[in-house]
Amino acid sequence: MDAAELDTQSSAMLHDGKAESVLERAAGTAKTVLRSRFVSKTISVFNTIRGFFPITAMGMFYAVLLLLTYIFLARGESDLVWITGSLTLSFIGTLMAAAVIIGAISFYFSWKKFLEQTELSAVSGECGFKTETGINLKIWPIPFIEIEIKWLDPPKIEVSSQHSLFELREYIMAKQRCSVENVKRRITVKDILGLASISWNTEQQVKVKIFPAKGNMRNSSVTFSMSGGEDMSDPFGSPEGDLIEMRKYVPGDSSRDILWKVYARTRKLVVRMPERAVTAKPRTCAYLIAGDEDENSASMAKYMLQSQLLGNNWCFGADGCSGTTDTLAGAMDFLASSGNRPVKGCNLAAFLNEANKRGYHNCFVFVPASVGSWLSDAKRAARNTHLNITWVMGFNYNMEAAEQPRRKWERYVYMDNPEEKAPPSQVVEALHTEHTPLVLCEINTGTVIDNAAAYLNAHRKALQ
């Protein structure tokens, strides 16, 4: 056998070995997926069966304790006091279980009848504010029971029910924006002692749109000169052109627009402002990156859009939404839809390419306050675009408190949470550069901080 045949056989054996290893890894992955699906399906079936079993863990403990009391103390000692007490407590437990069963059956048919006969309108609300969902049930007043409603999908929504003698109304308060067309609830009917409960899941086809909170930013000093124009000026036009005219500096103006040579001669701060132009050109666009801790940035985006701080001829995009929009209603829908989880990647690069083709020059990118998989994609997109990028992060003073280090005794008392979010300073350090500055906006007071890195460094030193 010559060397060529040996090389052919060895390469074939190597190829067969690689193929077998690939097949083994694929089979292992398939087994893992099937096993996880089987486990999740088993847990789902168990929870469904458990929901219809009326006795809770407390009820089981209560029943066992009564049984042992009756056997060893009441019947064993022939004590009428123990016998009377055991039978009385048994009657109370049976009464609670019967009330729960009757209440669950009554509420189930009332709920079903209401959904069949009532066509609910879309639910629209704002994060942090109580919103009525339109659920108004006529129920029978059954004593000793409580009705609890929980939203499973969309998540992060607190549900409160307002009960009267024959009526139940549902209210929600969302912690995260969302836009869905189907609501999944879990309804629990339980007694006041916690001995019995019956739970079941129900779905409802209804549009729910939760928008980010606007915050207290009416007095915000955010001012941006972001519109462009033709070379020929028009004294009767709107201020949408190149930065030629000047005015006095006001809090909130970007330090890049300050005329430092004028300040050196006169000791007066003046900034450049746009000249009045005949025809405006699109200059500014905005994009929202979705991720953990992004509600404050979404609130800032909502404020800038509603306050028309982007000028005219703007466009807006967001993660989880296809294409762009140039209307306020469309932008609000984008803001709500970007809150749906899980987030399917960062689409900033595609948005910047489209904005560059349409002639935009500046882009405000609203970023979350927590690092995530979006960070590397955003930095890569900013490096590969010709647009002037300005990162914008919304924050509040509670977020500042997260930067405060723990005291020595707290390190021994409290355990570290591995799922604890990274502080916003990591996002600032990763994104803030001379060419791509990051602006901090406090949503409760409207305070704008141009130099985010210097601000967080000074705040960190003050806490030490």
Average pLDDT over residues 202-225: 74
Residue of 170 and 26 predicted with greater confidence: 170
User: Is it the case that residue 138 has pLDDT exceeding 80?
Assistant: yes
Q: Residues of 392-402 as b/e, b for ≥16 C-beta within 10 angstroms? A: bbbbbeebbeb
Q: Taking residues 78-103, what's their average pLDDT?
A: 90
pLDDT score of 455 more than 80: no
Name the residue with higher pLDDT: 181 or 312. Answer: 181
Q: Which of the two residues, 73 and 302, has the higher pLDDT score?
A: 302
- Tell me the one-letter amino acid at 318: A
- In which band, very low, low, confident or very high, does the pLDDT at 270 lie, cut at 50, 70 and 90? confident
Which three-class secondary structure state does DSSP give residue 86? helix
Nearest one of 276, 299, 301 to 287, comparing CA atoms: 301
Are the CB atoms for 329 and 360 separated by under 8 Å?
no
Per the rule left: phi > 0, alpha: psi between -120 and 50, beta: everything else, 134 is left
- Distance, in Å, from the CA atom of 85 to the CA atom of 68, rounded to the nearest integer, reads 13
Mean pLDDT (the chain) is 79
pLDDT of residue 341: 83
pLDDT at site 310: 84
Q: What is the model's pLDDT at position 447?
A: 76
Alpha carbons 355 and 283: distance in angstroms, whole number = 10
Residue 416 is classified by DSSP as P
Residue 82 has a pLDDT of 85
Asked if residue 90 lies in contact with residue 182, where contact means CB atoms within 8 angstroms, the answer is no
Confidence of residue 98 (pLDDT cuts 50, 70, 90): very high
Lowest mean pLDDT among 29-33, 76-80, 333-337, 361-365: 29-33
Higher pLDDT, 200 or 36: 200
pLDDT confidence of residue 6:
43
Q: Give CATH 3.40.50 domain extents, the chain.
A: 228-241+282-463
Residue 246's pLDDT is what? 78
Which of the residue ranges 48-52, 207-211, 280-284, 407-411 would you say has the lowest mean pLDDT? Answer: 407-411
Q: What's the pLDDT score for residue 318?
A: 96
Strands (E), 226-276: 228-229, 233-238, 243-248, 270-274
pLDDT at 241 over 50: no
In the CATH hierarchy, which fold is given to the domain comprising 228-241+282-463? Rossmann fold (3.40.50)
| pLDDT over threshold 70, residue 448 | yes
pLDDT recorded at residue 351? 96
At residue 252, φ and ψ (nearest 5 deg) are: 110, -15
- pLDDT at residue number 408: 55
**What is the rounded radius of gyration, in angstroms, for the C-alpha atoms of the chain?**
31
- How far apart CA 426 and CA 422 sit, in angstroms, is 7
User: Confidence class of residue 395 from pLDDT cuts 50, 70 and 90?
Assistant: confident
Does position 365 have pLDDT exceeding 60, yes or no? yes
Q: Which residue has the higher pLDDT, 134 or 76?
A: 134
CA distance 428 to 407: 24
Q: Of the ranges 29-33, 189-193, 344-348, 420-424, which is most confident?
A: 189-193
Q: Can the peptide bond before residue 212 be classed as cis, meaning omega within 30 degrees of 0?
A: no
Please tell me the pTM assigned to this model.
0.74
pLDDT score for 251: 62
Report d(CA 155, CA 446) in Å as an integer: 29
Residue 31 confidence (pLDDT): 54
pLDDT at 32: 60
pLDDT tens for residues 16-36?
454 455 445 655 665 565 556
Q: And the tokens for 380? A: 């890569």
129: left (phi over 0), alpha (psi -120 to 50) or beta: beta
pLDDT at 402: 46
**Residue 3: per-residue pLDDT:** 47
Determine the pLDDT at residue 49. Answer: 82
